[in-house]
Amino acid sequence: MASAPSDRKIRDYYLTLHRAWGAQHWWPGETAFEVIVGAYLTQNTSWTNVERALENLRTAGVLSLDGIRKIRLSRLERLIRCSGYFRQKATRIKTFVAFLDRNYGGSLETMFSQPTSKIREELLALNGVGPETADSTLLYAGNHPVFVVDAYTRRVLDRHKILPATSDYEEIRRLFERALESIPNDPPQAASSTLLLPSSLPSTAHPPSAMSGAKRTALVQVYNEMHGLLVGVGKHFCGKSRPKCDGCPLQPFLPGG
């Protein structure tokens, strides 16, 4: 069980990473529906493959609710083949649209106007929606205040001895949500981070998009940024097999470092 010192660490990680890299403009996408499709496509594959699949859907003119409603399943499968597990993913995307039509008259706006816990429960009940997909949908497409936990998050927590990588998703989510909730109200100088940053850091930010710049509360923006920043750490430094701690903005926080 993570404790108050863990909360402080998470806050310091956020402030340090944000100082190092600034706004991440995550999630790239022009519409809320595009973000949701991306959240399904990114299951068990790299973002590069997701981008190719999204481009195929865009070129075919079906990257919209109506497009997915009308397209034959077999054609949808072909268009997203490059994202892997394409049969499952095509069925799941179709299932989401059928759910939206049935429960919310096909309106994402109506769905996202519901309480966070209600939408989350409904999404989690759908075929192929785990907590990461549900929370990506809520946070990045609907601007609801939930933190998205992914493999990168787990790896950093584990290597910094905050929580084991196998910890329960909800425990990690609660830790981040609790630790970061005061950030929007804290003046930056209140942060305990006075760390020197490496002089050259890779650029991690995505180009701004309609969805990354959408209007949202300060807290939602913090959850949004923290997930994007941890993706940057995972991609550039904290690899699966061997971490490259030299130059990582979080190196000064390594236990025993």
Site string for ligand SF4, 229-248 (x = CB under 6 A): ----x---xx----xxx--x
DSSP 189-256: GG-S--PPPPS-----PPPP-TTTTS---HHHHHHHHHHHHHHHHHHHTB-SS-B--TT-TTGGGSTT
Binding mask 117-156 for ligand SF4 (x = CB under 6 A): ---------------------------------------x
User: By C-beta, is 144 or 160 nearer to ligand SF4?
Assistant: 160
Interface with ligand SF4 includes 159 (CB under 6 A)? yes
**Which DSSP state fits 85?**
S
Indicate whether 210 belongs to the interface with ligand SF4 (CB under 6 A).
Answer: no
Shortest Å distance, C-beta 75 to ligand SF4 = 42
How many residues bind ligand SF4, per CB under 6 A? 13
Is residue 33 classed exposed, middle or buried when 0-12, 13-18 and 19+ CB atoms within 10 A define those classes?
buried
Which C-beta is closer to ligand SF4: that of 88 or that of 251? 251
Is the CB of 87 or the CB of 244 nearer to ligand SF4? 244
Other Cβ atoms closer than 10 A to 236: 17
Q: Rounded to whole angstroms, how far apart are CA atoms 79 and 191?
A: 47
User: Minimum Å distance from CB 48 to ligand SF4?
Assistant: 21
CB 150 within 8 A of CB 231: yes
Give the single-character DSSP code of 137.
I
Q: Which of 65, 64, 140, 133 is nearest to 98 (CA)?
A: 65
Cα torsion 194, 198, 199, 200 to 10°: value is -140
* Closer residue to ligand SF4 (CB): 79 or 250: 250
Closer to ligand SF4 by Cβ: residue 27 or 152:
152
Q: How far is the CB of 257 from ligand SF4 (least distance, A)?
A: 7
Smallest separation, CB 248 to ligand SF4 (Å): 3
The residue among 19 and 58 lying less far from ligand SF4, judged by its C-beta, is 19
Cα distance between residue 34 and residue 67, in whole Å = 12
Chain residues binding ligand SF4 by CB under 6 A are: 156, 159-160, 233, 237-238, 243-245, 248, 250-251, 254
